[in-house]
Amino acid sequence: MPIITMREAISQALWEEMERDERVFILGEEVGVWGGTYAVTRGFYDHFGPERVRDTPIAEGTIVGAANGAAMAGLRPIAEMMTINFAFLAMDQIVNQAAKIHSMFGGQMTIPVVIRAVGGGGRQLGATHSHTPDVIFAHFPGLKVVSPGTPYDAKGLLKAAIRGDDPVLFIENATLYQAKGEVPIEDYIVPIGVSNIQRAGKDVTIVTYSKMLQVSLQAAELLAKEGIEAEVVDLRSLRPLDMQPVIRSFKKTNRAVIAEEGWRSYGIGAEVAVRVYEAALDYVDAPIRRVAQKEVPLPYNRHLEQLALPQVQDVVEAVKGVL
């Protein structure tokens, strides 16, 4: 299989789905002439035209609101948020409209809208442009939340999101755009709401997703050199949250570390940990540990920013702690 970047995988998914289904169109800030803030839609405007690649004003509530209306009218819009930090300006349209309209109207209509948003820190963009608020959106039933950690999953999950009939928030970590991996040439999808074991092991379970998948895999390689075999489970989707691979792995290893880029308090790690305790309490040989961002607004200074973000060594130390 060809080895391509995460950026290329996402771009391929968008291009192929727009070619496959003329109802699919893209709207957002600078997605057209400029080709997207992260160059994901470069060349789309010239090929598909202004009707299907629509530059919008800097008004996130309007972007998602227009996408919701288009979806209810029979189209399949992909709304791009320049960054997930700006999605807060569209919260009502995302969690109070897109997530609820199908239920509020007794299933009479669907909202097949995909909202692409770039999240995560590590790019020296300051505290207000470096959020990882995934758990906030995953809290709301009716909205699917997806956050891939590999190019293969990014392409397959994005295709599944575009073809589905539910609203999906598709979170892309900006520091992963250059990450490379194998991606098939032939058409494929990755089902939303299915976790995946990315590395087999027998001593400890590391549960993670998105950027922290890559961090966790690096940590697992270092641990292997010391004779510690970690099993790495990639959640891929935060809602629906597939815990079965996590529980099966935990019942085998009896120990777990949960690694996420977001803040520890009220986070994804807390939810996963309590579900493990509820489902497999008799298998617990050590308290579950969580690795997460320091509880501060993320600093602009590069050195301080990296100190605040979870690193490979943090995962290694947490694993050794549970062992």
Q: How many CB atoms are closer than 10 A to CB 274?
A: 11
Cβ-contact 239, 194 below 8 angstroms: no
Is 295 part of the annotated catalytic residue set?
no
- Residues making up the chain, counted from first to last: 323
Active site residue 172: no
Q: Are 297 and 127 in contact (CB under 8 A)?
A: yes
Distance of CA 289 to the CA centre of its chain: 22
What does R_g of the chain's alpha carbons equal in angstroms?
A: 19
Catalytic residue among 8, 129, 131, 261: 129
Q: Which of 17, 60, 80, 305 is catalytic?
A: 60
Residue 272 tokens read as 């996963």
φ/ψ (deg, to 5) at 41: -105, 25
Q: 63: which 2 tokens?
A: 């972007």
Q: What CA–CA distance (Å, rounded) separates 33 from 272?
A: 42
Q: What do you get for the CA distance between the two ends of the chain, in Å? A: 37
Q: Are 146 and 157 in contact (CB under 8 A)?
A: yes
Contact (Cβ atoms closer than 8 angstroms) between residue 27 and residue 79? yes
Are residues 209 and 119 in contact, defined by beta-carbon separation less than 8 angstroms? no
CA 26, distance to chain mean position in Å, is: 19
- Identify the DSSP state of 304: H
- Active site residue ranges: 60, 129
